[in-house]
Amino acid sequence: MIDTNQKPVGRRNFFKAAGLAGLSGALLTTVGVKSVRADFSSAAPFEDPNAIFTAALIAEDLATTFYYNALIGGVIQDKVLAGPGGSITSGQALNTNVNYLQAALTQEIQHANLLRTLLGSSSAASDPVQTFYIPAGAFDTLTPFLGLLDALENAFIGAYLAATRQFAFMSAQTASQSNQFANADRSHTFSAGELAYYAQVSASIMGVECEHRALGRVIGAMRPANNLTYEQTSGITNVFNGPNSAVAALTPFLTPSTGPAYSLQTALANQKTVSLASTGGLPPF
């Protein structure tokens, strides 16, 4: 369990302390959501770091909401999870498959906390999206739940792969010009070293999302669970800008017609009753 109200460490201390179309045709077919394409324009040859952080924060908040509601939903009573009549609080939580989901919830919350720090935000209450819309039945039984888990995690993997490449590109461009990279609004500048570190952190988070994907396949008894030689981009080329971005992929989950509404704040307020601790910190800067 973690403190979701922890104060951000600040951009400078963050470095000291360190010492999605992701939801493309396959996902939209799986969950029955029509693809909604959002078109964003960019005057820069690469994306704004704060825009990447913001898109990633929305994705992590969606993941937090998704895993929390799975842990309290009807799907938890499947025989491969807590079992008929079981719940997280009924003594069934020792089931290894349940523990995978509990730890994933914690990890997604921690990722979101990091992104808030980078954006200078002090509270999840100020996150840009507070309500997510998820297809009806996603948390009722195992098959739709695991289908959505797989699709979401593949999208997150694609988004962080794109972020890793973009930060690396920005770092190389900045270093070659012996200069600093500025946000589009000129509110902050980034050194080549900072941008390279963001690439490393993006890759670090992506690795954990890969674990979630594989463990979801373990729950579903899919063999082999680790079925990919290389992780894929799932069609994502950008994080924030364009029709093949993670932001465009997230659009169905921000649209009321997709399904029931689920509150981020409810998930955060109650996560301590269902989450498990996760260890490890950022890679060294």
**pLDDT tens digits for 50-93?**
999 999 999 999 999 999 999 999 999 999 999 998 888 775 55
pLDDT of residue 92: 54
pLDDT band for 20, please (50, 70, 90 cuts).
Answer: very low
Continuous H helices in the chain: 11-18, 25-31, 49-72, 96-119, 142-176, 192-219, 246-250, 264-270
The answer on pLDDT for 10 being more than 80 is: no
pLDDT of residue 181: 75
The answer on pLDDT for 254 being more than 50 is: yes
The answer on pLDDT for 266 being more than 70 is: yes
- Please state the rounded mean pLDDT for residues 249-260: 95
Residue with tokens 């079981």: 86
The answer on pLDDT for 142 being more than 60 is: yes
Choose among 122, 88, 115: nearest CA to 201: 115
Task: Give strand pairing partners of 181.
Answer: 190
Q: What angle do CA 90, 96, 102 make, to 5 degrees?
A: 70
pTM over 0.95: no
pLDDT band for 113, please (50, 70, 90 cuts).
Answer: very high
Q: Between residues 153 and 91, which one has the greater pLDDT?
A: 153
Task: Read off the tokens for 276.
Answer: 């498990």
In angstroms, the CA 124 to CA 264 distance is 9
**pLDDT tens digits for 180-204?**
777 776 677 889 999 999 999 999 9
Task: Read off the tokens for 99.
Answer: 């523990």
Choose among 14, 49, 21: nearest CA to 37: 21
